[in-house]
């Protein structure tokens, strides 16, 4: 993932007022831990290159392997 893409995603997250959801993030991260594409030493997904401790908190983010997806904001 390019730095400019990360900036765009962060700006979108801030603009949409995404609320952090601890349960959602923990569930997602647990799925990442079981994935063969997860690089444990650096907490990174080898498929998308994202830093997963941050990405799992973003309601609109999706796993590139389809293990978890976007959560609609209410």
Backbone conformation region of residue 72, classed left if phi is above 0, alpha if psi is from -120 to 50, else beta: beta
pLDDT digit string (tens) for the chain, length 74 residues: 566 777 787 777 666 654 557 788 999 999 999 999 999 999 999 999 999 999 998 888 999 999 999 987 65
Q: What is the pTM of this model?
A: 0.69
**Whole-Å CA distances, 33 to 26, 40, 73:** 11, 7, 25
Q: Which residues contact 3 (CB under 8 A, 6 or more apart)?
A: none
């Amino acid at each position: 993932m390019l730095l400019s893409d990360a900036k765009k995603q962060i700006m979108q997250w801030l603009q949409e007022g995404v609320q952090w959801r601890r349960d959602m993030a923990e569930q997602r991260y647990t799925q990442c831990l079981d994935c063969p594409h997860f690089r444990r030493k650096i907490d990174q997904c080898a498929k998308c290159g994202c830093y997963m401790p941050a990405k799992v908190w973003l309601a609109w983010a999706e796993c590139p392997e389809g293990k978890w997806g976007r959560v609609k904001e209410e």
